Amino acid sequence: MISMTLEEIATVLSGRLVVRGDGAVTDVIDGYVETDSREIVDGGIFVAKPGETTDGHNFVGTALSRGARLAIVEHEVDEEISQVVVADAVAALGALAAHVVASVRARGVLRVVGITGSNGKTTTKNLLAAILSARGETVAPKNSFNNAVGAPTTMLRVTEDTEYLVSEMGASSRGQIARLVAMATPDIGVVLKVGLAHAGGFGGLDHTFTEKSAMVTTLPASAVAVLNRDDERVAAMADLTAARVVWFGLGENAHVRATDVEADRSGTRFTVTVPSGESRTVRFKVLGEHHVSNALAAAAVATELGVPLDCIVAGLESVTRAERWRMEVLGGRDDVTIINDAYNASPDSMAAALKTLALVTPPDGRRVAVLGTMAELGEFAGEEHDRIGLLAVRLRVDRLVVVGADARRLHISAINEGSWDGESVFVETADEAYAYLADELRAGDTVLVKSSNSAGLRHLGDRLGELFSW
């Protein structure tokens, strides 16, 4: 974070400053801001956020013992650490982030990129960070820090020397993206896809469209909106923004496009073409054709930031996986490949992962899909699990293992498809699935493990990867 005195922080937050211990109002703070006391490092700021199961105020002492110099609290805490008392700790976190970003921006160096979409945000963020970090100081989220807490926490890592802030902006309910955009209005706003992820919170695709379009509706004419030409809902956002539109996609009408796409278990190869007319071959190690779209989005942003195409390609090729537990390739012994994609799942990402499984499995190998629930779909859950079950059949998955009661409908839909001669197995737990697969898998199998994070199948994927590691 940029250097600020205790008094300045309190003023920005309209809070009441309580100086404790040997502190003084003129003390300068420039450490990281955290909401998890376990992440505090010396000189940091701890935000005591009330939670669903615990209260951050109970951990102010822990934060102090780890070196925190300031706590942002909703009520004064009996610990020897200076505190700023505010009405809402999360709102204060956002206000501090907005101030810090605006202060650094005023110095004329910082460029802000905002990324949203129902799928692909984290992958695109990682790809773009890999490209930009070779050009200058770049701040990007850890993991999937993209909500009302994670996004401002990332923003607060900018310093006076930061050239690029890549902000992943997600939402599970209405209004969240607009609030994040207001904290740090992007110079370049990216929208990847409008799908049914978090549909239960939004209330359907129309509301999801409205939520995601908040990324571009408030952009000024001086900004750039990078939009997916292949997604009709995203494409419709061009009419809602004053910003200059740059398209990415697979079609000829995209400014940044991919051709000659080929995929196998080692990754994806394609040719990328940018607005100047230059083209290059990309040997992309991230598995799955659907990630080509994310690579194009990153390339489009980098092009707008003046990055040469050779540097863009080098950055894309340096990334070996989308993210931990996202199309992560494991195993290899006995030619058994485990694709662990169980960090998250929506209908779109589940379908894309199954299509990748079908595409990359060698002709003499079996397609094995280990699937768990897709969470947060609300009223759409039943029909979407039905659709995925039928898709598994139509893609000729050889073995389907469905894990957990919330995903059982997927299993029923598959076995009810009369034309299928494959086998679907339902188990209640990941341990049962592991026991079954340890006996069932054979040389040449390609195994997809896919579910929402809540199902916990990512650990099953790790266990299978270890079982078949060299």
In contact, 249 and 296? CB cutoff 8 Å:
yes
Domain assignment of residue 116, yes or no: yes
Distance between CA atoms of residues 304 and 313, nearest Å: 15
Last residue of a domain, which of 272, 291, 318? 318
Strands (E) located in 241-398: 244-249, 256-264, 267-273, 279-284, 328-331, 337-341, 367-371
User: Which token pair is 327?
Assistant: 């199309």
Same domain membership, residue 205 and residue 82: no
Give the whole-number percent of the chain exceeding pLDDT 70.
Answer: 96
Residues 268 and 387 in one domain: no
**Domain ends where: 40, 68, 87?**
87
Identify the residue whose tokens are 């370049």: 188
Same domain? 377 vs 439: yes
- Residue 269 exposed, middle or buried by CB count within 10 Å (0-12, 13-18, 19+): middle
Domain presence at residue 323: no
Task: Clarify whether residues 347 and 275 are in a common domain.
Answer: no
pLDDT at 343: 87
Residues 128 and 52 in one domain: no
For residue 41, report the phi and psi dihedrals to the nearest 5 degrees: -120, 165
Select from 55, 87, 119 the last residue of a domain: 87
Q: What is the pLDDT of residue 203?
A: 58
| Domain interval for residue 73 | 4-87
Closest by CA to 244, choosing from 186, 309, 308, is 186
- Cite the annotated binding site by residue number: 117-123
Extract the tokens encoding 414.
């598959």
* Domain tally, the chain: 3
CB atoms within 10 A of CB 64: 21
- Residue at token pair 């060299």: 470
Contact between 426 and 405 under an 8 Å Cβ cutoff? The reply is no
- Judge whether 420 and 435 are in contact, CB under 8 Å: no
- 254: CATH: 3.40.1190.10
* Residues of the chain below pLDDT 50: 198
Q: Are residues 75 and 96 both part of a single domain?
A: no
> 280 and 261 share a domain?
yes
Q: Which amino acid is at 213?
A: S
Which residues are annotated binding-site positions for ATP? 117-123
**pTM of this prediction?**
0.86
User: How confident is the model at residue 280, as a pLDDT?
Assistant: 98
Distance CA 63, CA 47 (A): 10
Q: Looking at the structure, tell me whether residues 261 and 377 fall in a common domain.
A: no
The domain that contains 57 carries what CATH number?
Answer: 3.40.1390.10
Q: What is the pLDDT of residue 421?
A: 63
Co-location of 118 and 74 in the same domain: no
